[in-house]
Amino acid sequence: MLTTVLEKMPNNFWQLLEQNGWQQHFTSKEDKRAKIAIIRTYTDFDKAKFAHFPNLKLIIRAGTGYDNIDLTEAKKRAVTVCNTPNANAISAAEHTLAFIAAMLKQQQPGKQIIQNKKWRETAQNCWEFAELKVLIIGLGRVGSRTAKLLQSLGAQVKAYDPYLNKAQFEKKQVTSTELEFGLGWCNLLSFHTPLTSQTYHYFSAKLLQMLQCPFWLVNTSRGSVVDIAAIKLALEQNKLLGAALDVFPKEPFNMPDFMRADKIYLTPHLGAFTKNAKERMAEETLQVWQKFVFENKIISEVDPRFTFRKK
Ligand code: MLT
């Protein structure tokens, strides 16, 4: 079944194709006859793209987030959309933890102090994990793994996730909270939601007013979940202890001046950029592909409730 690969895939993807003798099914060209398309983060599968591939039956999003695919159009055209939800969970949760550790231990301002030929008298206090009251927004694979890591280091953790019931929270061993209570309680806010019409600009000027304590902010989910202007406001209001962002509304990110502050920690969408995660992503992509092509089975179909379309 002709499969077009529209973005760069890890090396082991092509090796696996060769090992299995599947190369003849694949092309990197935008061949209109393709029945399957494999994409990653940066292909916008909008109406025009669907129109370009009239024979499409399946899109495999190598990775987790599928806000770049118009699910309404997919449904209209009877195209199934699948992703690889397990591949990046470890690396994204670890990326979150690393951001938090770097902020608590003042690693960025610490370097600046040395560069300015000063010493620790001019530094802010470092924090211990046990001082953290973490509110996780979205307790899926990455959110729950992050919660576990933080709990093991002594942080208090609560989570807000309107899609989970009591039994699911219990199974994940994380305390559930209502959003308003959680925002009043926490001193660290970490986002692990898909980008949907509901989560667009979740961190906003309005939400900022509901946070009662000076707070740390982490976003390793999707850039548009956080309104960058609200970060500026939080800095101006002196409420922000630090913000760590791996994802941005538009990538590559064109950084406004206030984002150069010592309190802002940035990485260029590296949450899934470990060797292991990339290899798993290629393997999971080909598992979805082979089930569909050889067994006519669909695995890892995305949840249509979590859909996003640009206004
Ligand atoms: C994801 O959604 O899985 C990540 O954004 C993966 C990526 O870096 O493409």
Residue 176's DSSP bridge partners are 159
Residue 264's DSSP bridge partners are 243
pLDDT in tens, 78-129: 999 999 999 999 999 999 999 999 999 999 999 999 999 999 999 999 999 9
Asked if residue 303 lies in contact with residue 81, where contact means CB atoms within 8 angstroms, the answer is no
Residue 309 scores a pLDDT above 90: no
Q: Which three-class secondary structure state does DSSP give residue 37? A: strand
Domain shared by 121 and 215, yes or no: yes
Q: Number of structural domains, the chain? A: 2
Residue 310 scores a pLDDT above 80: no
**What atom of ligand 1 comes closest to residue 88's alpha carbon?**
3
Give me ligand 1 centre to Cα 68, in Å.
11
Domain shared by 109 and 236, yes or no: yes
Residue 122 placed within a domain: yes
Is the shortest distance between the CB of 95 and ligand 1 below 6 Å? no
Give me ligand 1 centre to Cα 254, in Å.
19
Which residue has the least CA distance to atom 8 on ligand 1? Answer: 272
pLDDT in tens, 224-283: 999 999 999 999 999 999 999 999 999 999 999 999 999 999 999 999 999 999 999 999
Domain shared by 70 and 171, yes or no: no
Packing angle, helices 275-295 and 89-104, rounded to 10: 160
Residue 311 scores a pLDDT above 70: no
Residue 300 placed within a domain: no
Domain shared by 103 and 190, yes or no: yes
Residue 306 placed within a domain: no
pLDDT in tens, 142-151: 999 999 999 9
**What atom of ligand 1 comes closest to residue 42's alpha carbon?**
9
Residue 307 placed within a domain: no
Q: Which two tokens stand for residue 311?
A: 């206004």
Domain shared by 221 and 94, yes or no: yes
Give me ligand 1 centre to Cα 80, in Å.
19
Domain shared by 7 and 65, yes or no: yes
Residue 120 placed within a domain: yes
Domain shared by 62 and 110, yes or no: no
pLDDT in tens, 182-201: 999 999 999 999 999 999 99
**What atom of ligand 1 comes closest to residue 271's alpha carbon?**
8
Domain shared by 130 and 82, yes or no: no
Asked if residue 201 lies in contact with residue 173, where contact means CB atoms within 8 angstroms, the answer is no
Claim: this prediction has a pTM higher than 0.85: yes
Q: Which three-class secondary structure state does DSSP give residue 27? A: strand
Give me ligand 1 centre to Cα 130, in Å.
30
Domain shared by 202 and 255, yes or no: yes
For a substitution probing ligand 1, which of 39, 69, 88 has the most ligand atoms within 8 Å of its CB?
Answer: 88
Give me ligand 1 centre to Cα 131, in Å.
31
What radius of gyration, in Å, describes the C-alpha atoms of the chain? Answer: 21
In 3D space, the residue among 4, 13, 84 whose CA is nearest the CA of residue 36 turns out to be 4
Phi first, then psi, for residue 69 (nearest 5°) are -120, 130
pLDDT at site 192 = 98
Rounded Cα distance between 311 and 308, Å, is 9
Is the shortest distance between the CB of 269 and ligand 1 below 6 Å? yes
**What atom of ligand 1 comes closest to residue 270's alpha carbon?**
8
Rounded Cα distance between 311 and 101, Å, is 36
The parent domain of residue 98 ranges over 89-266
Domain shared by 150 and 204, yes or no: yes
Provide, rounded to the nearest whole percent, the portion of the chain with pLDDT above 70. 100
Residue 73 placed within a domain: yes
Asked if residue 42 lies in contact with residue 7, where contact means CB atoms within 8 angstroms, the answer is yes
Is the shortest distance between the CB of 272 and ligand 1 below 6 Å? yes
Residue 294 burial (10 A CB sphere; 0-12, 13-18, 19+): exposed
Give me ligand 1 centre to Cα 221, in Å.
9
Residue 66 placed within a domain: yes
Domain shared by 253 and 148, yes or no: yes
Give me ligand 1 centre to Cα 110, in Å.
30
Domain shared by 29 and 96, yes or no: no
CATH label of the domain that carries residue 129? 3.40.50.720
Residue 33 placed within a domain: yes
Asked if residue 100 lies in contact with residue 216, where contact means CB atoms within 8 angstroms, the answer is yes
